[in-house]
Structure formats: structure tokens, C-alpha cells
């Protein structure tokens, strides 16, 4: 009998997606694979290994802990920590040999202090971030960004200026604003190239920009969602020639007859209006199946679509099989993936609950085992 819940990850698909994306890059650009949030739910270490096999030249994460996990996993590729780091987190990031992002001179001094404490590690490579419109991390002021870059240069040999970066706010939607951000970023890159000839890696493009706007590729792109085969525009991976790497499965644990008026699930949000058969799958919001799918989703069993009915609970969901079921206890159930000619994608689930595929994939909990394979062959 299948596991109560399992996420199957096709590492070969990740490799192919990376190759597909690299094949679209402007000449001279390379790909940095973003494996933060446990590889968007796919497992950071296996996903990173697959991405590098596919041709990625660097890895990116959001935290010092994530960088340390990759180094402990034996990776020697450059690792860029994209997120903010507190003074308490800095030693771990430096010890992992991670490249850091700065937008404040006080942060540069904090990194120097870590190095001055006898960390014993080579120069810390620093990327300076200009906020051109996303409005989160990074300074909005070109003058301040340049001052931070010069502070890094002045801190040699302990620090090394490695890159100039920004992040697009609307690459999956408004390309006009992308162009506006790019125009604001170009003078910053030009100034840094004058200050440190040959040393600067300019990067701005996320997955959506990589797929849609070749002029944003610059020296490097940072692809996250796309390497896992999810559509950056949250529509259909096939439209971007991407192959979903993850499928989510459970199994039919029980089948019982419901008479007209019988209910299923907490709150009696589903009440049968006719005699029908109800299947229970032992998977729920504790595994990452959103309660927003209550009376609002589908599952594949035996190559057929069936509606999820009733309230999604922590450990179970219920499925309306209809008056003449062709389903038996023990059969595989697919919540994300393909069964016969039918397919359910992370994008399908996201649209039903008013979110994006990122959240669907990252929301699959650690309680769900990950089973790795390469086109069906066990990894």
C-alpha cells in the first residue's frame, strides 16, 4: 500500500529545466539556481545537486543556515545569501564561505568586524543591492549604493566587491515597469565597472524575467521557481517549456456509502444531496493541502478526476466518488501530478485558493516524505 502522503521529486526534470533555461540566456550570461526554502519544497541539497548537474554555475539561498546546510552537503559552488543577515547570523554565513548582499555601510563594517575577530576565512565576496522598485531590501539611493560599494573596496583584502544586483517587482506581469527598473539599474552597474574593472557580476533577472525579457539577463540570472518546472507566470509550465519536478500523492484509505443527507468533514460543509460514495485520503493541511481547497479541489484516482468535498482537516480529505465508484481501498491518489491522461499542477491548486505556485510548493510540509528519482528510477 502507498505511503499516507509522499512527494515524488524527479531530479532529472530539474536538470532538464536548468538546461532549457540556460539555452535561452543571452550570450555570456550564466544561471544561479535559487534553492532557498528547502529548494522550494523539493529539498535543498538534492535540488542543488541536480541544478549544478544541469549546468548552473552558482547557488542562492535566503539565510545563513541555508548556506551552511549546502556547505555541509559538500557543495563547493559559489553560494549567495540573498536575504538580510543579523550580526548574530554573520559568523555562520562567513564560515560557510557565502557571498553576501549589502546595501548599508554599517553592514559592511559588521562583516569587517567578523573578519577581524580572527575568522580565518578568505575575502568575503559582497554584492551591493540597489532597490530600483521592489521596495524591500536595498537602498533606493544610487549615491548610497555607490558609497556602500566603495566601502567594500576600501575593506580589501578582507572584503571583495563581487556584484551589483537588483530585483524586479513585476516581471510576471508588467514588463513596462521591468524596463523602468532596468534603466535605473544600468547606471549603477556602469559606475561599479569603472570602480572595479572586470570584478562585477551584474544580476537582476528572476525566473519570470529570464523567460520573458532577454535584455535583463546581464551577467547572471537567478532562477528559482522555473528550475522546479513551475510556471513563473502561474499559468501553465508547458507554455514556458518547463517540466514539473514534483508530484504529490496519497492513497484511498476508506470508501463508504453516504445516503442523501449524510455529511463529510468538520462543520458539515458537504451534505450529500443523493446517495454517493465517499473516499477518505489520509492527507490534509498538516501536510500542506490548504483548507482553501475545501469543497474546492480535485484529485486524480485511477486516471479520473474526482471532487474534494467537505472541509480539509489536518490529516484527512474526503472525495466524492459518485453513485457508481470505480475506486478501491489502497488505490493511489494524486493531488499534484499526472495520472493517465489527467493532470493537476501546482498552478491549478494555486488558482483555486487565490495564491501562487510558489506558496503551494513551499507549503508541502516536512511531514511529507520526499522520494527522489530520475524519470522513475530510484535515486
Q: What is the pLDDT of residues 193-203, one digit of tens each?
A: 998 887 789 99
Per-residue pLDDT for 116 more than 80? no
Count how many Cα atoms sit within 13 Å of the Cα of residue 192 in the half-sphere of its side chain: 33
Among the residue ranges 33-37, 122-126, 197-201, 257-261, the one predicted with the least confidence is 197-201
- Could you tell me what percent of the chain has a pLDDT over 70? 98
Provide the pLDDT for residue 218.
98
DSSP 277-330: EEEEES--TTTT--GGGTTSEEEEETTEEEEEES---SS-EEEEEESS----TT
Mean pLDDT of 10-21: 98
Provide the pLDDT for residue 3.
86
| Cβ(336)–Cβ(346) below 8 Å | yes
Q: Please name every residue paired with 163 in a beta bridge, in sequence order, or none if there are none.
A: 127, 201
Rounded (5°) CA angle 176-181-184: 130
Mean pLDDT of 278-293: 98
Looking at the annotation, which residues are catalytic?
Answer: 36, 266
Specify the CATH superfamily of domain 246-344: Lyase, Ornithine Decarboxylase; Chain A, domain 1 (2.40.37.10)
Provide the pLDDT for residue 120.
54
| Residue with grid cell 527598473, as numbered in its chain | 181
Provide the pLDDT for residue 1.
56
CATH node for 11-230: 3.20.20.10
Q: Please name every residue paired with 128 in a beta bridge, in sequence order, or none if there are none.
A: 102, 164
Q: Report domain extents, the chain.
A: 11-230, 246-344
Per-residue pLDDT for 263 more than 80? yes
For 68-82, the pLDDT digits (tens) are 999 999 999 999 999
Q: Identify which of 35, 25, 347, 17 has the alpha carbon closest to the alpha carbon of residue 209.
A: 25
Provide the pLDDT for residue 331.
97
**Total-model pTM:** 0.96
Provide the pLDDT for residue 325.
84
Provide the pLDDT for residue 118.
59
Mean pLDDT of 143-172: 96
Per-residue pLDDT for 171 more than 80? yes
Amino acid at each position: 500500500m502507498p505511503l499516507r502522503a509522499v512527494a515524488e521529486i524527479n531530479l532529472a526534470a530539474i536538470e532538464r529545466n536548468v538546461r532549457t533555461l540556460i539555452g535561452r540566456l543571452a550570450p555570456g550570461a550564466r544561471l544561479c539556481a535559487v534553492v532557498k526554502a528547502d529548494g522550494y519544497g523539493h529539498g535543498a541539497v538534492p535540488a542543488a545537486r541536480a541544478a549544478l548537474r544541469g549546468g548552473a554555475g552558482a547557488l542562492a539561498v535566503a539565510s545563513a543556515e541555508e548556506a551552511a546546510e549546502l556547505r555541509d552537503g559538500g557543495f563547493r559552488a559559489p553560494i549567495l545569501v540573498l536575504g538580510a543577515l543579523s550580526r548574530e547570523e554573520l559568523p555562520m554565513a562567513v564560515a560557510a564561505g557565502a557571498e553576501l548582499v549589502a546595501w548599508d555601510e554599517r553592514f559592511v563594517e559588521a562583516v569587517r568586524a567578523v573578519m577581524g575577530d580572527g575568522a580565518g576565512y578568505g575575502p568575503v565576496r559582497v554584492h551591493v543591492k540597489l532597490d530600483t522598485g521592489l521596495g524591500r531590501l536595498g537602498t533606493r539611493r544610487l549615491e548610497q549604493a555607490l558609497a556602500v560599494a566603495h566601502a567594500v573596496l576600501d575593506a580589501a583584502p578582507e572584503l571583495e566587491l563581487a556584484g551589483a544586483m537588483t530585483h524586479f517587482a513585476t516581471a510576471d506581469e508588467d514588463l513596462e515597469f521591468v524596463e523602468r527598473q532596468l534603466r535605473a539599474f544600468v547606471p549603477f552597474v556602469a559606475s561599479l565597472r569603472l570602480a572595479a574593472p572586470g570584478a562585477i557580476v551584474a544580476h537582476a533577472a528572476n525566473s519570470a524575467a529570464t523567460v520573458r525579457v532577454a535584455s535583463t539577463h546581464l551577467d547572471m540570472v537567478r532562477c528559482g521557481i522555473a528550475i522546479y518546472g513551475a510556471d513563473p507566470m502561474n499559468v501553465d509550465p508547458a507554455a514556458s517549456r518547463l517540466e514539473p519536478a514534483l508530484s504529490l500523492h496519497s492513497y484511498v484509505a476508506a470508501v463508504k456509502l453516504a445516503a442523501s443527507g449524510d455529511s463529510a468533514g468538520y462543520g458539515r460543509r458537504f451534505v450529500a444531496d443523493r446517495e454517493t460514495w465517499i473516499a477518505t485520503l489520509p492527507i490534509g493541511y498538516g501536510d500542506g493541502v490548504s483548507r482553501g481547497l475545501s469543497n474546492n479541489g480535485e484529485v486524480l484516482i485511477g486516471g479520473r478526476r474526482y471532487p474534494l468535498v467537505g472541509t480539509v482537516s489536518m490529516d484527512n480529505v474526503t472525495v466524492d466518488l459518485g453513485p457508481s465508484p470505480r475506486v478501491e481501498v489502497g488505490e493511489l491518489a494524486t493531488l499534484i501530478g499526472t495520472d493517465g491522461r489527467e493532470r493537476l499542477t501546482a498552478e491549478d491548486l494555486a488558482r483555486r485558493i487565490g495564491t501562487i505556485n510558489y506558496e503551494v510548493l513551499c507549503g508541502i510540509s516536512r511531514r511529507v516524505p520526499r522520494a527522489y528519482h530520475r524519470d522513475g528510477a530510484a535515486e
